[in-house]
């Protein structure tokens, strides 16, 4: 990973300390010396700076974030490159990310609805602009109490955000990201839209009310869960009304067309379903139901240890590199993909070479010299012989010669 830049200066930003580390970047607490304000400075890892693909993703994140103006989305202040280091300067959120809150156990229904309603509002606004976040998870939801009397939420990390795209793939065909909250169509590389983020939000609703994500275990176990298994019944894990199970089931439907019309509609349905639950206390855990997946740590791993007094919400899993997953085998034929069998990679070059050989042979035949046809002898009535043209006009030889005998 890149060296610690604490104490150094990038452009007009003085780096004061590390907020969080990820596989692709390090987020620092920094001071804008020109304006005298604190910022969160996200710097791409030096080992990835020469990689054109990661540079493109980093630039996309800056452009996507700067184009969005919403109270629940982290404001972007600046973006630039200095001495080969790419950085994004954002608002420093004084608080903790949602994964840190869930780590200590289930949240109360009232708090869950308050926090996720703000996330839903931000996502629906994003979807209205034709954008899809594609990395909705508790670690990217920052919670602060500095904005007013209630907890205020900021949605962060727009590194995978795309407009009218398919599930994110690297140029080598790998899925890039964490599968813990990823929708099936995202994992398969199929077309995505706002319903893809809604699936992740429904998984977050499950996590807030239970203290754990819906599918756990190894990476492949989690992927197969999202692709082909129903989300466990929440009411069998914690003491909540069974009506919430239907809400989460619809929000996590494998077919996007079976989900809610918007993220706000999902949260409103959850509010109705939880109306009979004790809103001010966390639901009691009932333990794993028979046959359910045991409670384990999420795939993304434990939260990064923060340095210094700051307990902010820019923590990322301490992974050496982002999770890269080969696309799993698709179940059936997608409605968005072609069923035609692809030709092997060598097919086109071989056909081109054969065509070139045929063209060369045709050119050689056309340009090669031809023998002139033999001329027909002239049929003159005059038995004259023209000198110098023996090949075309010769006096016919007599067929018989009279013989004179001597006496």
Q: Is 395 annotated for ligand binding?
A: no
Contact between residue 317 and residue 303 where contact means Cβ atoms under 8 Å apart: yes
Q: Which two tokens mark 114?
A: 């308050």
Distance, in Å, from the CA atom of 316 to the CA atom of 293, rounded to the nearest integer, reads 25
Phi, then psi, of 89 in degrees rounded to 5: -100, 125
Distance, in Å, from the CA atom of 240 to the CA atom of 123, rounded to the nearest integer, reads 26
Distance, in Å, from the CA atom of 96 to the CA atom of 364, rounded to the nearest integer, reads 77
Q: Which two tokens mark 338?
A: 């072609």
Q: Which two tokens mark 249?
A: 């089931």
Three-state SS at 131: strand
Distance, in Å, from the CA atom of 169 to the CA atom of 187, rounded to the nearest integer, reads 9
Residues taking part in catalysis = 135
Residues 6+ apart with CB under 8 A from 3: 46
User: How distant, in Å, are the alpha carbons of 146, 205, 233 from that of 107?
Assistant: 20, 10, 17
Q: Count H helices and E strands in the chain, helices first.
A: 9, 13
Q: How far is CA 377 from the centre of its chain?
A: 84
Distance, in Å, from the CA atom of 88 to the CA atom of 74, rounded to the nearest integer, reads 12
Contact between residue 264 and residue 117 where contact means Cβ atoms under 8 Å apart: yes
- Within a 10 A sphere around the Cβ of 357, how many other Cβ atoms? 9
Contact between residue 119 and residue 141 where contact means Cβ atoms under 8 Å apart: yes
Q: What is the DSSP letter of 173?
A: S
H-helix segments, 26-83: 52-66
Please state the residue numbers annotated as binding site for ATP. Answer: 42
Please state the residue numbers annotated as binding site. Answer: 42
């Amino acid at each position: 990973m890149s060296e610690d830049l604490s104490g150094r200066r990038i452009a007009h930003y003085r780096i004061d300390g590390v907020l969080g580390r990820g596989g692709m970047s390090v987020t620092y607490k920094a001071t804008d010396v020109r304006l005298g304000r604190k910022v969160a400075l996200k710097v791409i890892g030096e080992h990835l700076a020469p990689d054109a693909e990661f540079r493109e993703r980093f630039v996309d994140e800056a452009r996507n974030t700067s184009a969005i103006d919403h109270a629940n989305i982290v404001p972007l202040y600046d973006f630039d490159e200095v001495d080969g280091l790419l950085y994004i300067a954002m608002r420093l959120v004084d608080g903790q990310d949602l994964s840190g809150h869930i780590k200590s156990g289930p949240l109360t229904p009232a708090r869950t609805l308050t926090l996720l309603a703000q996330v839903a509002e931000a996502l629906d606004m994003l979807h209205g602009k034709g954008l899809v976040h594609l990395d909705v998870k508790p670690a990217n939801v920052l919670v602060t109490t500095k904005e007013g009397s209630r907890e205020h939420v900021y949605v962060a990390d727009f590194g995978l955000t795309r407009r009218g795209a398919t599930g994110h793939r690297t140029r080598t065909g790998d899925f890039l990201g964490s599968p813990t909250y990823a929708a099936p169509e995202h994992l398969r590389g199929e077309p995505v839209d706002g319903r893809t983020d809604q699936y992740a939000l429904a998984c977050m609703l499950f996590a807030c009310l239970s203290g754990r994500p819906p599918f756990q275990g190894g990476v492949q176990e989690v992927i197969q869960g999202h692709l082909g298994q129903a989300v466990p019944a929440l009411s069998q894990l914690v003491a909540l009304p069974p009506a919430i199970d239907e809400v989460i089931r619809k929000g996590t439907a494998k077919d996007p067309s079976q989900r809610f019309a918007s993220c706000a509609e999902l949260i409103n349905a959850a509010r109705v379903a939880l109306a009979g639950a004790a809103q001010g206390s966390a639901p009691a855990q009932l333990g794993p139901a028979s046959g359910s997946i045991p409670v384990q740590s999420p795939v993304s791993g434990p939260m990064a240890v923060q340095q210094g007094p700051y307990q902010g919400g820019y923590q990322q899993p301490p992974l050496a590199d982002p999770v890269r997953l080969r696309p799993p085998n698709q179940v059936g034929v997608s409605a968005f993909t072609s069923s035609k069998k692809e030709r092997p990679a060598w097919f086109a070059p071989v056909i081109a070479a054969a065509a070139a050989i045929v063209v060369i042979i045709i050119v050689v035949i056309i340009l090669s010299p031809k023998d002139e046809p033999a001329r027909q002898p002239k049929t003159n009535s005059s038995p004259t012989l023209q000198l110098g043209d023996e090949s075309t006009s010769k006096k016919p030889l007599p067929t018989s010669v009279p013989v004179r005998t001597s006496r």
